[in-house]
Amino acid sequence: GIQVEQSPPDLILQEGANSTLRCNFSDSVNNLQWFHQNPWGQLINLFYIPSGTKQNGRLSATTVATERYSLLYISSSQTTDSGVYFCAVEHLNTGNQFYFGTGTSLTVIP
């Protein structure tokens, strides 16, 4: 398989602060997605980003496939941003199979 490591494992922020979450992967990938799992357990798509940079409101993501990492930026954090953020990659050699990292647990306090 492929190893997917996320950092930091836990993060506590004051409302309004900015943060950067990192996803490192051990081999070449076809695809990469970022998800937010809310406190009720629902997994929500944030970005499909195999390479390059995308922005959606206060969130943006950058993937540098040649260096095997992706970053998720959260600006002006809100309490509703709390939850777990997962990175998932589709290994180049085993198409259709996604491998998830263990996530970053974010808590935003008012």
Partner 1 sequence: NAGVTQTPKFRVLKTGQSMTLLCAQDMNHEYMYWYRQDPGMGLRLIHYSVGEGTTAKGEVPDGYNVSRLKKQNFLLGLESAAPSQTSVYFCASSYLVEQFFGPGTRLTVL
Residues of the shown chain interacting with partner 1 in the complex, contacts defined by CB under 8 A: 1, 4, 30-31, 33, 35, 41-43, 45, 48, 86, 88, 90, 96-103
- What do you get for the CA distance between the two ends of the chain, in Å? 40
Q: Which residues pair with 60 in a beta bridge?
A: 55, 73
Chain centre to alpha carbon of residue 40: 18
The token duo for 101 is 């990292």
Q: Which of residues 33 and 63 has its CB atom nearest to partner 1 in the complex?
A: 33
Q: Shortest gap between Cβ of 81 and partner 1 (angstroms)?
A: 19
Q: Which residues pair with 65 in a beta bridge?
A: none
Q: Shortest gap between Cβ of 71 and partner 1 (angstroms)?
A: 18
Q: Which of residues 95 and 110 has its CB atom nearest to partner 1 in the complex?
A: 95
Q: Shortest gap between Cβ of 52 and partner 1 (angstroms)?
A: 15
Q: Which of residues 5 and 73 has its CB atom nearest to partner 1 in the complex?
A: 5
Helix (H) or strand (E) segment spanning residue 5: strand 4-7
Q: Which of residues 73 and 98 has its CB atom nearest to partner 1 in the complex?
A: 98
How far is residue 29's CA from residue 42's CA, in Å, rounded to a whole number? 25
